[in-house]
Each structure stands twice: as C-alpha cells, then as structure tokens.
Structure 1
C-alpha cells in the first residue's frame, strides 16, 4: 500500500493540467481560419468545415477513450490522445511551412482537414479526465472535484484565443504554430509527470487480483470502482429516451461553446473588421465567461433543480443569440455575447445535474453519450453558419446566429418536458 503514488489532489491537478493543454487545438483553429481563408481563397463553407474538424474527433473519441479508463485507468488513454494531438499539430506546422515558404497549394486544404482532425483528439481528454478524477474522489467530494476540473480546464480556449492573435501579429503563422506545438508537448510531459491513476488501477498493474485490489483501494479511501457491464450501461442508457433529450441540451450549449470558440474570431474580424488581437480578446471573453459560469451553474442547479436551471439559462442563451442576430453595433454585439456566454455556461452544468435523476439505472453510460455526442455540436454548427455567410455575404455572420435562437427554443421545450418528468 505504501507504493501507491499520488493523492486525490494530485490526481485532480494532473488531469486538469493535461486537459487544459489538450484543449489548445480548439483555440488554434479559430484565430488562424482567417489566415487560411486569405491564403487559400477558401469559401465560407470551407472555413466552417475547417474550424469544425478538431471538434469532430474531440467529441466522438470521448466515448471509447472514456470507456477504456475502466480497464486501464486514465494515464494511458490520456497520453495516447495527447500524442495524437501532437502529431496533428506537427503535421499542421509542416503544411503551413510548405505553404508559406514553398508556395504549396495543391492538396493543402485536405491536409489541413486531416491534421486538424488529429489535433482535436486533445479535446477528447475531457471524458478521460472526468473518469480519472471520479475514481480518485469519494462521492461527497466529486461535485467539487469535477466542477473544478471542468471549469478550470475549459478556461483554456479563452486564454489561448487571447494569446494566439498576439503571437500571430508578432511572430507570424508558422512560428505561432511551432509555439502552440511546444505548449502541447510541454503539457503532455507535465501530465506524464503529474497524472496519476487511482489506487485500484495501480494495484491491478502491480498484479493484485480484483478482490484484493478493491479491498486495498478501499482502505486508501477509494469508493468508486469500474463497472463490470460498461457495454450494458451504454446499451441501457441508449434505450432511455431521456438520454437523447439530454444529448440535445448539451449539443446546444457545450457543442455550441466549442463551435463559437472556433467561429467567433472570424465573426469579429469579418463582420466588424476588428484586428485579430481584438477578435481574440472578445472570443476569450466569451470562452472564459462560459467556462466560469459552469461552476456557478452547478451551485444554482443544486438549489433550484437542474430542469429549472436549464430553462432559465437557455432563455438567456436565446436572448443573447437574438441580440447577436439583430446587432448593428459592436456594443450591442458584445453585450449579447456576454448574455449568451452566461446562459450556455450555466446550462452545461444543469445538464449533468439531470443525468443521474433521469437515467438513474445507467448514469455512466448516459454521461458518455451526453458528453460525447453533445460535443458533436462543435463540428456540426460552424459549417451551417458558413452557409449563411455564403448566401448573405458579410451580413450572414450575424444572420447565422438564428441557429442558436432556434436551438434555444427547442431546448427550452425539451427542458420543460424533462422538468415534468423529473419534477425538479
């Protein structure tokens, strides 16, 4: 027992640190999309697909890699995802070098899509870290631990969205990518040094049988252990209609969060003609507010119920989206962005408050579907908004926010329905 490495605090710190750096790809694509658009003469639809690629792998890989934690602990899945992301950013850096210094044009867009897909695997570390942290902490402390993990880790896009335009202005596109690649490598090394599996997984790795590993891990304070029926949990939750309604709610606000983190830099630059630095600053404002309010949203949901919190927060989101749709001045647009961010962040917390109440017989499986497929909105939404730009030209950057107005209305109806079922 004395050979067990780490403490719950160290487990939380390591996972949060790794997730923070793994989220770099989301922030990276947004501010550089305008550069790609100019260099390669991309259409709005092509830009929308490009900025969405990291979200595709970042959402879909969450489900299998989170499941893998139950058999091996979090370290191996986490490190593999980070290494794939490094390959993606390295590939992007090479392609950009060839474009900038060797005038390469043929096949560049396809390579950007491929390496963008790989770089997005760092986002999938979210679900791995959730499982890793959960195994470290007793149930009465998991709310604090998971709230801290998600809230702090999700600050990354906001911080990087602010820093990257400054780097682009001072150092250029290629050097900025090299720096971001360095960030990811450093983050991977730091996770390798600090990320620890919970006692049960360390004991199993030392060769202890199931029963002895559980007994010793319990004596060290571990309360949660892997389910022997992960596939059954996923199957059972998939058969519960509530699971898919919760997927839609999370698709709207967390998928929307990922989408807008990538889309807003282009919106601010192309619609209001702001510099990349100011566009990055306003994107950072949105991203940080959304992430910080996720922590507050958990507290509110504890007091008034998850469904009530969802209804109120989605209404705020709808108001903010409508403001951006109608905005004819930068002041109204910024105010609307702030309202939108508050609503989306609070709802992200409300959704996971509802999961155990509405899918009580398969919480783990439901969380996997909600977290993975909900994040898929980050891939789906940007290309749709790109279509508005293709049709309405510059005005389409504002008109595209009608997508979020519609999503808000649909989600409010779903939340009200769930409130009647959950009596929350």
Structure 2
C-alpha cells in the first residue's frame, strides 16, 4: 500500500535500475578478482590445487552468507545506504589485500573481499521497490545482467596483471569500487517505500519476522536450485582461467 501511495516516476525508476546495475557489475568484477590474481598468487606461494581452490572459493562464502543479513538490513534501513556501505567495505578490503604475504593472510583478505558479493541481495531489494509487481521481473532481469562483471575481470585484469602485477589489479579494482560507491551515493535516491514509511512513522520489520519465510519448505527448495545453477556458474567462472593456464 505504501508503494502505491508514493509511486516512483519513470525517471526515478530508470535511474535506480541503471545505477544499481552498474554498481552490481563493478561489485561482481571485484568478487571474481581471485579468478585472475589467484593464479599469480598461487605461483608466488607455491599453492596446491586444493589450496588454490579454497582461496578462490572463500570470497564466495562471504558473499553468499552475507546476502541474508544484507537483504534484511536493506529492508530495514534502505538499500541505498546499505549498498554504499557494502561497496566501501569491499573497496577497503580489496586494497588491503595488497598487504597480504602468507596463505592465511590471503584467506582472511579473501573472506573480507567477499562482502562485495553481498551486493546482489541489496540491489534486488532496492530496485524492486521502484517498480510495480508487473514490471519487477523485467527490472530485476536487467539488474541481474550485472553478472557481466565476471567477464570484465576476465578481460581486463590479465592485461593489468601482466603489465604491473596482481597488486595493481587489486588497487585499480578497489579504486573503481570506491568511485562507484561515491557516484551511487551522489546520484541515487532512497526508495519510495522507505520514504513513505518514514513519513508515516512506521518502524522497520523486526529481524525475527524477516526470517519467518525460512519456515517455508519452498524457500529451501528454491535455494537448492539457486545453489546448483548460480553456484555452477560461479565455480566455472573462478576455476576456468586456472584450468586453461594449466
């Protein structure tokens, strides 16, 4: 009802959609960074395939688990603020990655970099608030195209790494993510439902109530589908460069 009371204009819808899609693309590029720099790090540390696999999978773990909480916080505090915070944290973590020297340090750094992957649930919550139910499928489909960030890293990161080493890749990607966060903050707006809720003085839905859908078996079933489909894509995207080089 609140969304109907404060509908977003077409311009606001397009701005939210394309800004969010661009932000998701950059976040996804950062999330997949170990698929490229991990090859040089593996050679530097003399890692086994198992150690390398654990290293590149660690950001995915953080990104996947954090999505649950980030999605809830987006509903409670607004996707705009949470999205900016996620990008800034991801930028700092990616820059700090350049200070790692040992395998445990790289694992911890990868765990922190993975926060960039949580962008997805935040963006979905944010974008969907600007569109009526009849158009949300199209809008979220366009937003989901931000997965192309994986291809951005595969295309550009090797060029930077060959020219200046893996640390330069991390620094450039960190700066790009920080700049994206600033641009998103400057040009985006709070979603209509959050603004309406603030005007009405309505409190956010409690955390316990947000977790209530987990009682539905369908949620777990669809999560399993997502695990195999998207998980397979991420696994292939991360491992394929290492496989081809080998």
Q: TM-score, normalized by length of structure 2?
A: 0.89
What's 2:108 paired with? Answer: 114
Give per-residue Cα distances to partners, 1:49-106, cap 9 Å, x unaligned.
Answer: 10011111111111111111222211111112112211211111233xxx5xxxxxxx
What's 2:49 paired with? Answer: 44
The counterpart of 1:92, out of the listed 81, 91, 97, is 97
Give the Cα separation in 1 of the matches to 2:82 and 2:206.
19
Q: Structure 2: where are the runs of 5+ without partners?
A: none
What's 2:157 paired with? Answer: 164
> Where in structure 2 are the equivalents of 1:222-237 lying within 5 Å?
228=205, 231-232=208-209, 234-235=211-212, 237=213
Q: Report the Cα offset of residue 195 of structure 1.
A: 2.7
Query: Over alpha carbons, which structure has the higher Rg?
Result: 1
Contact residue 75 and residue 197 of structure 1 kept, 8 A: yes
Contact residue 68 and residue 77 of structure 1 kept, 8 A: yes
Task: Using CA pairs under 8 Å that are at least 6 residues apart, name the structure with larger relative contact order, 1 or 2.
Answer: 2
Distance 1:262 1:26, change over 3 A: farther
The counterpart of 1:12, out of the listed 8, 17, 20, is 17
What's 1:186 paired with? Answer: 179
Give per-residue Cα distances to partners, 1:12-31, cap 9 Å, x unaligned.
Answer: 12211211111122321011
The counterpart of 2:32, out of the listed 27, 34, 37, is 27
Give the Cα separation in 2 of the matches to 1:201 and 1:233.
16
DSSP 3-state at the match of 1:10? helix
Does residue 124 of structure 2 align to residue 130 of structure 1?
A: yes
Which consecutive segments of 4 or more residues in structure 1 shift more than 4 A?
226-230
Q: Report the Cα offset of residue 144 of structure 1.
A: 1.0
Does residue 232 of structure 2 align to residue 264 of structure 1?
A: no
How many residue pairs get aligned? The number is: 240
Give the Cα separation in 2 of the matches to 1:140 and 1:44.
47
Give the Cα separation in 2 of the matches to 1:64 and 1:35.
33
Does residue 234 of structure 2 align to residue 240 of structure 1?
A: no
What's 1:209 paired with? Answer: 200
Give per-residue Cα distances to partners, 1:101-154, cap 9 Å, x unaligned.
Answer: xxxxxxx11111111111111110100110111111111111111110012x11
Give the Cα separation in 1 of the matches to 2:208 and 2:155.
41
**RMSD between aligned alpha carbons?**
2.4
The counterpart of 2:140, out of the listed 138, 143, 146, is 146
Contact residue 128 and residue 136 of structure 2 kept, 8 A: yes
Q: TM-score, normalized by length of structure 1?
A: 0.53
Contact residue 28 and residue 149 of structure 2 kept, 8 A: yes
Q: Structure 1: where are the runs of 5+ without partners?
A: 100-107, 212-225, 271-424
The counterpart of 2:167, out of the listed 154, 166, 174, is 174
DSSP 3-state at the match of 1:51? helix
Contact residue 76 and residue 205 of structure 2 kept, 8 A: no
Give the Cα separation in 2 of the matches to 1:34 and 1:14.
32
Give per-residue Cα distances to partners, 1:180-228, cap 9 Å, x unaligned.
Answer: 12211222122112332212323555xx2247xxxxxxxxxxxxxx984
Contact residue 32 and residue 238 of structure 2 kept, 8 A: yes
Contact residue 36 and residue 157 of structure 2 kept, 8 A: yes
Distance 1:51 1:204, change over 3 A: same
Contact residue 74 and residue 132 of structure 1 kept, 8 A: yes
Contact residue 90 and residue 112 of structure 2 kept, 8 A: yes
